[in-house]
Amino acid sequence: MEKIVNLLKKQITSTIIAILCGFIVVAILLTLTGYSPFEAFGILFNGIFSKPKYISQVIIKATPIILTGISVAFAFKVGLFNIGAEGQYIMGTIAATVAGILFDFPPVLQIPVVVLSGVCAGGIYGAIVGFLKAKYGIHEVITSIMLNWIAFYLGNFVVNTQRFHQPDSTGTYIINESGFTMFLYGWKRSEEGKAFLMEHPVLLDVILKTDVNFGIVFAIIVAVAVAILLKKTTKGYELRSVGFNKDAAEFAGIDVKKNILHAMLIAGAVAGLAGALTITGMSPHKISTMGTFENYGFNGMSVALIAGSSPIGCIFAGLLFAGLLYGGGSLQSAIGAPSEIINIMIGTIVFFVALTKIVPVLADKLVKRGEKHAR
Amino acid sequence: MDIKKDYAVQMRAITKKFGSFTALDQVDIDIKKGSIHAILGENGAGKSTLMNVLYGLYQAEEGEIYLEGEKVNIKNPNIAISHGIGMVHQHFMLVDNFTVTQNIILGNEVVSGAGVLNMTKAHEQIKDIVKKYGLEVDPDAKIEDISVGMQQRVEILKALYRGAEVLILDEPTAVLTPQEISELIKIMHNLAKDGKTIIIITHKLKEIKESADVCTIIRRGKYIDTVTVSEVSEEDLAEMMVGHAVKLVVDKTEADPKEVIFEIKDLVVQNERKLDAVKNLNLKIRKGEIVGIAGIDGNGQKELIEAITCLTKSKSGTIKINGKEIQNTTPRNVINHKVATIHEDRQKRGLVLNFTVAENMIIENYGKEPYSKKGFLNKKAMYENAKGLIKDYDIRPDNCEGLLVRGLSGGNQQKVIIAREVTNEPDLLIAVQPTRGLDVGAIEYVHKTLIRERDKGKAILLVSFELDEVMNVSDTVAVIYDGTIVETFKQGTVDENTIGLLMAGGAADGKNS
Amino acid sequence: MKKRIIALLLAATMLVSLTACGTKKDAEKDTTEGTTTEETTGEDTTAEDTTEKVDFSVGMVTDTGGVNDQSFNQSAWEGLQNLQKNTGADISYLESTQETDYAPNLDKQVDEGKNLIWGIGFAMADAIITAAETNPDVNFAIIDNAYETTPANVTGVMFRAQEPSFVVGYIAGLTSKTGKVGFVGGMKGNIIDQFEYGYRAGVDYAAKELGKEITVDVQYAESFSDSAKGKAIATKMFSSDCDIVFHAAGGVGVGVIEAAKEAGKFAIGVDRDQAYLAPENVLTSALKLVNVAVELVSTEALNGTQIGGQTYNYGLAEDAVGIPEENPNMDPAIYDKAMEVEQLIKDGTIVPPYNADTYGK
């Protein structure tokens, strides 16, 4: 037990060191370009923590990337690289939007229908990758990249269909309000709700001015569920054994192909959930034609990497990531530093996290070499 | 001993550490010019490390190296080569789709003018060396088309081509047939006669007796002794290597075989290149019998085992256990039919290295009670099972059930597999290369376990590339060559030479495929 | 082990792509430096030099194109910079990378106490309405959108884009040697219709004047940012005998201009003078001077005029649209003629069509 704790500590320490390195690199960069790093970081933290509303915004922004992060992390535990989280996310948004526009049930039914369509779409999309890998041995990275683009253009296609396209806009119609998952959505827009909120400025800030929604609850539930699935269940044992050593798993009678399919199905479903929750929980509640990927899935890869592929860790990594993105936005308006600086910081953190993972690998290799040649 | 000019290599007080592990501790060695010098030690004793220090692959923390009385500082293999040291590794470092000549000159190309290869000149230089030492090899053949023995010659040629005076051979006989081994020994003598110094790293006592003049024994990183080979017996060498008296012959009683429980009929299996690797193979195993398959690696053993365990499809033929056909089903089905397999590659097929010992112990039974309850793992049952097995099979360190298997030594990893497979109470236990990479103590343990299971009435199939092992452990020896069983003997009725010839395809001149 | 390597590789590629994005934008900045000066750092000094600092702050939120989109986001930012120079108002922008950023970014600008907040582009129409509802005391303005009912604290800004489109259509018609010109639109809709039909009418006007037939090949990229698609469409047009292609497609147009450069033919830029993208191959540009509109509206607000609750409609008469004064690739005679046509539009003698219904009437 002590050893496990130590190991855990190690992982977290190295991640924190990586984050600090990110800050240091950015501080140097800011200094070189003539901005005060202290001022910049002050703004960054103010932009995240100075108001409950900001924290709430960060949480809202974090929700989808926590989920895509879990999607990537989960697949990684099964030895698969889910670069397709982006496409699965997009499929989730498409399906949720379509369902949200087509149906108009009461919220109790509408929300599950809309969210589940997104989950199913993402899941099926992930399963395609799993199927191609299991059946024909095509590498998941290749199929995922292709499918990302297919999802991308499918989204643009759906936006431009007669049934869904909102005239004079770049997007579809907004989904029916019965599918919204914002916290107290109806009430906060009603007259008495507004009146009440006007008297309580903090609540006004947090509830009315943001898209506070139930997404984060889903994200935490999913993180815990995935962690339990992996660690505590028989299925998780199978999945992990396939992830660690599929040859041994196969030899021990575990159906490797089936597990690859299941893993991608689950990973896709989680990414699809991220997409669906973005549609139901955040404005603009619709999809628009995209010129480039919105990077929810790719950011998920960074999140998973920072989290060391731990589903629970993804919650924190996602919050960090969202915090940097959200707080970093203020840098430009406050001191005029280009907002790219935040991308550089995130990139540096990811880089150093990856670097801290090289060290044990190197050590491992050294020991192994030692063993081999000592014979 | 003093530093003298007539010693090709003298190493003094060499200490090499890997982290906290001391691989070599103040080791001295003196190798006379023109001699064949064996370095003997168990796996992990440090003999390869010592030679890697000499070859410049490792830097020693302490110690000095003298070549012909001159102190040298060998920082990397290039310096070693320039000093006339050559090394043939256990795993050959050849480019498969290059020809012999191309491989030999690789990295040391003869060029004329602006970087144009002068192949004619290279050809002639190689021919000279070939003639001089009797290293018969076709210089234009591609590496992938020639036998392992030939590939080894190419490695030796490569070293000589670069002007090696001292030649280090790391476990040179591990992959060779008995005939190839005797040819290699002949070549070694030729080289020594010409004044070259040969160092062989090995743990095979018989070969030392046959080839070496002098032998230095290393045990756990420490220098033990240097002896003149002709003055000691194999038993003496073994005792010095292991540190205590060992029995080189496995104790066992006469087998008491019962009815046939496992039968392979006319089995044909294709390899990855879609060529028939197992050809109309027939084999029967009875209860209470160990059948050993003797053969050189690459004669269909791998495909045979993969077909039995259903990792690969059989093209035709049947495999029956307890009268039921199991070919072309799933690995799970084979396990369910009470076939347990100790795979030759324990790290690839046998274990999930990043799983704990306890998790590895249930890899075939994780889905069954009591390890699984309503889809959830029962950690308690899992750990209790592991604790029991760790105790029964003396797996070290104690209480390792929660540790990752990765952290265990090779021998203990093998014990984890054996414990797991044996407790599955199989009707047929397949052991493929079960002692590969293990030290003498662990080998003894594995052999005893196999015999104990035989005595319990199980059928056992042993596949090994070590002819000694097959001869020692089996009750019946089946010789495999080119994908088929060429002969089956009751153990003790034939000698090693006969089997060696059969393993090589029965050609008396020793040239195998 | 293998997984780790893959992970590392991907981390590395991610890093590279992140930095690549950065450098790309930097590069773009470099190229635009001739026309714009990003003076965010020196804002105080310049402001003090020219005018006294006023207590008025304007913020803008870009759409997902970002502030360096070489299009209306960038133009709007230039307008604000000019505003700062002339009045000393405090300015800032927030970039949106995802659609879901609109609402939080608008909210953030509100928090920073802006008096006027610009939303650039009609994609933000809904977000602006929501923000305006929750913040009744803040003024919002939006480019390229007219609401059916405009809230009292929202200002819509529209352009009569058909007017410069007519002019460049006329120029294209006069310049074309093959008698075939092209139009690449972003996505079908009211806004792009103004460009398309204005252009068509301008070409027709020229054809009538020359007494010959000139055909217009019209295609839509179904995107405002896929420059590769723009390039593909334009290349096809050029190879099928078009010698001038006008685009109204945002980032897609960058590809159109590239295609013109490779084919050695002419493209007509949009929104801003795009000649810098290919000095030899941009015939002219249909200017939609978002910067002028942004500055005009902002200045009005600064001076205390009630701007909310209405939609401003800018055209040639307000000098908020037009063509550049310098057109090195154009025959000066044609330029003079174009100026005459411009005057006719200003007079109201010519009323360019803005959609299929008004076209041909």
**Based on the structure, what is the number of domains in chain A?**
1
Identify the pLDDT of residue B208: 87
Give CA–CA dist A48/A323, Å, rounded. Answer: 6
Same domain (yes/no): B22, B99: yes
Residue A199: exposed, middle, or buried by beta-carbon count in 10 A (0-12, 13-18, 19+)?
Answer: exposed
The CATH number of residue A258's host domain is: 1.10.3470
Identify the pLDDT of residue A9: 53
Identify the pLDDT of residue A6: 55
CB contact under 8 A, C111 and A51: yes
pLDDT tens-place string over residues A40-77: 899 889 888 988 889 999 999 999 999 999 999 999 99
**Which chain A residue lies closest to B438 (C-alpha atoms)?**
A375
A5 interfaces chain B, CB cutoff of 8 Å: no
Nearest CB neighbour to C93, from listed A298, A301, A332: A332
Phi, psi of B291 (to 5 degrees): -100, 125
C-alpha distances in Å from residue C1, one per residue of A242, A251, A357, A360: 14, 20, 11, 11
Same domain (yes/no): B82, B16: yes
Whether B343 is covered by a domain: the verdict is no
Bridging pattern class, strands B7-18 and B21-32: antiparallel
Same domain (yes/no): B417, B441: no
Bridging pattern class, strands B197-202 and B166-170: parallel
Domain end among B181, B207, B242: B242
pLDDT tens-place string over residues B29-75: 999 999 999 998 876 678 888 998 999 988 888 899 999 988 999 88
Q: Which domain holds residue B210?
A: 7-242
Q: Which DSSP helix (H) or strand (E) runs through C57?
A: strand C57-61
C-alpha distances in Å from residue C89, one per residue of C50, C55, C67, C119, C302: 12, 7, 19, 18, 8
CB contact under 8 A, A305 and C11: yes
ipTM: 0.81
Same domain (yes/no): B325, B363: no
Chain A partners of C97 at a C-beta cutoff of 8 Å?
Answer: 294-295
Domain end among B178, B207, B242: B242
Mean pLDDT to the nearest integer, B139-156: 85
CA distance C99 to chain A (A): 7
Percent residues over pLDDT 70 in chain B:
94
Identify the pLDDT of residue B412: 85
Whether A95 is covered by a domain: the verdict is yes
Q: Is C302:C89 a contact under the CB 8 Å cutoff? A: yes
**Based on the structure, what is the number of domains in chain B?**
3
C-alpha distances in Å from residue A87, one per residue of A291, B351, C179: 14, 35, 44
Whether B457 is covered by a domain: the verdict is yes
Q: Is A53:A287 a contact under the CB 8 Å cutoff? A: no
Residue A166 confidence class, pLDDT cut points 50, 70, 90: confident
Question: Which residue, among B27, B302, B366, B404, would best test binding to A if mutated, counting the most A CBs under 10 Å from its CB?
Answer: B366
Whether A214 is covered by a domain: the verdict is yes
Identify the pLDDT of residue A18: 84
Nearest CB neighbour to A350, from listed C14, C94, C101: C14
CB contact under 8 A, A234 and B376: yes
Chain B partners of A252 at a C-beta cutoff of 8 Å?
Answer: 331, 335, 363-364
Four-CA torsion C235, C241, C244, C250, nearest 10 degrees: -30
Whether B302 is covered by a domain: the verdict is yes
Mean pLDDT to the nearest integer, A331-357: 81
The residues on B that touch A, with CB distances below 8 Å, are: 18-19, 21, 23, 43-49, 52, 57-58, 221, 309, 311, 330-336, 341, 343, 348-355, 359, 363-364, 366-367, 371-372, 375-377, 437
Q: Which long-range contacts (CB under 8 A, 24 or more apart) does B114-121 make?
A: none
Q: Given a cut of 90, is residue A356 above it in pLDDT?
A: no
Identify the pLDDT of residue B120: 81
Identify the pLDDT of residue A357: 67
Task: Pick the more confident residue, C182 or A291.
Answer: C182
- Closest to B467 measured CA to CA, from B240, B174, B251: B174
CB contact under 8 A, A250 and B311: yes
User: Using CA of residue C72, residue C77, residue C78, residue C79, what is the dihedral sign?
Assistant: positive
Mean pLDDT to the nearest integer, A252-268: 95
Identify the pLDDT of residue B269: 94
Identify the pLDDT of residue C44: 42
CA distance A336 to chain C (A): 6
Question: Which residue, among C6, C68, C93, C108, would best test binding to A if mutated, counting the most A CBs under 10 Å from its CB?
Answer: C108
Which pair of structure tokens corresponds to residue A306? 């920072």
Give the lowest-confidence range in A87-91, B206-210, B358-362, C118-122.
Answer: B206-210
Identify the pLDDT of residue B263: 94
Q: Given a cut of 70, is residue B356 above it in pLDDT?
A: yes
Task: Pick the more confident residue, B258 or B246.
Answer: B258
Task: Pick the more confident residue, A340 or C329.
Answer: C329
Q: Is B357:B403 a contact under the CB 8 Å cutoff? A: yes
C-alpha distances in Å from residue B511, one per residue of B69, B180, B205, B438: 42, 8, 25, 30
Give CA–CA dist C221/C233, Å, rounded. Answer: 8
Mean pLDDT to the nearest integer, A140-145: 94
Question: Which residue, among A82, A283, A325, A358, would best test binding to C if mutated, counting the most C CBs under 10 Å from its CB?
Answer: A283
**Which amino acid, C127?**
A
Task: Pick the more confident residue, B380 or B150.
Answer: B380
Give the lowest-confidence range in A310-324, B120-134, C21-35.
Answer: C21-35
Same domain (yes/no): B411, B454: no
Task: Pick the more confident residue, A336 or B461.
Answer: B461
Q: Given a cut of 90, is residue A21 above it in pLDDT?
A: no
A-B interface: how many C-beta pairs under 8 angstroms? Answer: 102
Whether A216 is covered by a domain: the verdict is yes
pLDDT tens-place string over residues B468-479: 888 889 999 999
Nearest CB neighbour to A291, from listed C25, C102, C251: C251
pLDDT tens-place string over residues A33-44: 888 888 889 988
Same domain (yes/no): B371, B503: no
CATH number of C47-159+291-318: 3.40.50.2300
Identify the pLDDT of residue B245: 66
The CATH number of residue B174's host domain is: 3.40.50.300
CATH number of C162-287+321-347: 3.40.50.2300
- Residues with Cβ within 8 Å of residue C96, at least 6 apart in sequence: C61, C62, C63, C64, C66, C102, C105
Same domain (yes/no): B23, B121: yes
Instruction: Report the SS3 class of residue B8.
Output: strand
Identify the pLDDT of residue B506: 65
Whether A368 is covered by a domain: the verdict is no
Identify the pLDDT of residue B471: 87
C144 interfaces chain A, CB cutoff of 8 Å: no
Report the b/e string of A15-27 with b at 16+ CB within 10 A: beebbebbbebbb
CB contact under 8 A, B352 and A235: no
Percent residues over pLDDT 90 in chain A:
55
Q: Which long-range contacts (CB under 8 A, 24 or more apart) does B180-188 make?
A: B180/B147, B180/B148, B180/B149, B180/B504, B180/B510, B180/B512, B181/B207, B182/B210, B182/B510, B183/B149, B183/B510, B184/B149, B184/B152, B185/B210, B185/B211, B186/B134, B187/B133, B187/B134, B187/B135, B187/B153, B187/B156, B188/B36
**Which chain A residue lies closest to B367 (C-alpha atoms)?**
A234
Q: How many CB atoms neighbour CB C337 within 10 A?
A: 16
Task: Pick the more confident residue, B114 or A242.
Answer: A242
Give CA–CA dist A370/A366, Å, rounded. Answer: 6
Computed over every residue of chain B, the mean pLDDT equals 86
Could you read off the pLDDT tens digit of each residue along chain C, which spans 361 residues? 455 555 555 555 554 444 444 444 443 444 434 343 344 444 444 444 445 567 899 999 998 888 887 778 898 999 999 999 999 999 989 888 888 899 999 998 998 889 999 999 888 988 999 899 888 999 999 998 888 889 999 999 999 999 999 999 999 999 999 999 999 998 888 888 999 999 999 999 999 999 999 999 999 988 777 888 999 999 999 999 999 999 998 888 899 999 999 999 999 998 888 899 999 999 999 998 999 999 999 999 999 888 889 999 999 988 899 999 888 899 999 999 999 999 999 998 999 999 888 887 6
Whether A354 is covered by a domain: the verdict is no
Q: Given a cut of 80, is residue A374 above it in pLDDT?
A: no
Give CA–CA dist A121/A96, Å, rounded. Answer: 9
C14 interfaces chain A, CB cutoff of 8 Å: yes
CA distance A370 to chain B (A): 6
Q: Given a cut of 50, is residue A32 above it in pLDDT?
A: yes
User: Using CA of residue C238, residue C240, residue C245, residue C248, what is the dihedral sign?
Assistant: negative
CA distance B374 to chain A (A): 9
Chain A partners of B19 at a C-beta cutoff of 8 Å?
Answer: 366-367, 370
Q: Is B199:B87 a contact under the CB 8 Å cutoff? A: no
SS percent in chain C: helix, strand, coil, step 5? 50, 15, 35
Q: Which domain holds residue A249?
A: 64-316
CA distance C326 to chain A (A): 32
Residue B373: exposed, middle, or buried by beta-carbon count in 10 A (0-12, 13-18, 19+)?
Answer: exposed
Which pair of structure tokens corresponds to residue B162? 């670069």
Nearest CB neighbour to A253, from listed B221, B335, B354: B335
Domain end among B393, B425, B457: B425
CB contact under 8 A, B351 and A245: yes
CB contact under 8 A, B332 and A253: yes
Whether A357 is covered by a domain: the verdict is no
Mean pLDDT to the nearest integer, B246-261: 79
Chain B partners of A374 at a C-beta cutoff of 8 Å?
Answer: 18, 21, 23, 44-46, 48-49, 221
Whether B384 is covered by a domain: the verdict is yes
Chain C partners of A290 at a C-beta cutoff of 8 Å?
Answer: 225
Please name the residue that has the structure tokens 């903090």: A202
